[in-house]
Amino acid sequence: MLERFTFWDRAACLAGLMIIGAAVDLWRHGRAATRHKEYAFICLTGLIGCLAGTVNDLITSSISPEYFTAGKGLPSGEGFKQQVAMFGLRQGLSAGVIAGAVCLYVSRRKSKVPPLAFGSLLGLLWMPVVCAAAGALLLPMAAGRFDPAGLALKLDGAIAAAQVPPFLKVWWIHTGLYGGLLAGIIWLAVVATRRRTAGAKLPPRP
């Protein structure tokens, strides 16, 4: 059923629900409302994801166009770079929104300990960003010669033999990017949880 709606239809629907939810929260709670800040944070991480995904795919498409044509099904020829940019933007937006929602949950979910302040949460946002970039750079250097998914065999006949190594390199870049992002989110979650626990142990101000 969801296939009837484009990616941008679903994104617009999500944005509309956020606006409605934030407006209702402001109407009900006034200055104590927090939904608008939470949704703004998710939008910020989504924008970061858009930028990262677009830049990453534009760079990696110059290393291995076949990764996107044979691997992702994008059309080659005129407009290829625009197709790659839009593909990266969509993938990055999805990853950024999901990552932001997870970070928001672990740092501000309802529990016995107080939530992490939004300023402190923003101060931790560099962790998944740096880890994702480090994974994309380092993993291909460390494991670029390996082919655990058997891609070379699967690509036999689909692309030329000389195009397989660049294909594998780009595959490792993307694997490192997402693996690093996951590691960064876990790191942020651990630090946020410790800060929340430490804040709960502080004596009340006189």
**Host H or E run for residue 155:** none
The amino acid present at 64, given as its one-letter code, is S
Whole-number Å distance between alpha carbons of 188 and 150: 33
Rounded CA gap, 43 and 188, in Å? 18
Distances (CA, A) of 196 to 91, 107, 111, 120: 32, 8, 10, 10
Give the span between the Cα atoms of 81 and 110, in whole angstroms: 44
pLDDT given at position 201: 55
- How many of the other CB atoms lie within 10 Å of CB of 5? 12
Q: What does the pLDDT look like over 33-59, one tens digit per residue?
A: 888 999 999 999 999 999 999 999 999
Report the pLDDT value the prediction gives residue 2, as an integer from 0 to 100.
53
* CA pair distance 171, 151, nearest whole angstrom: 9
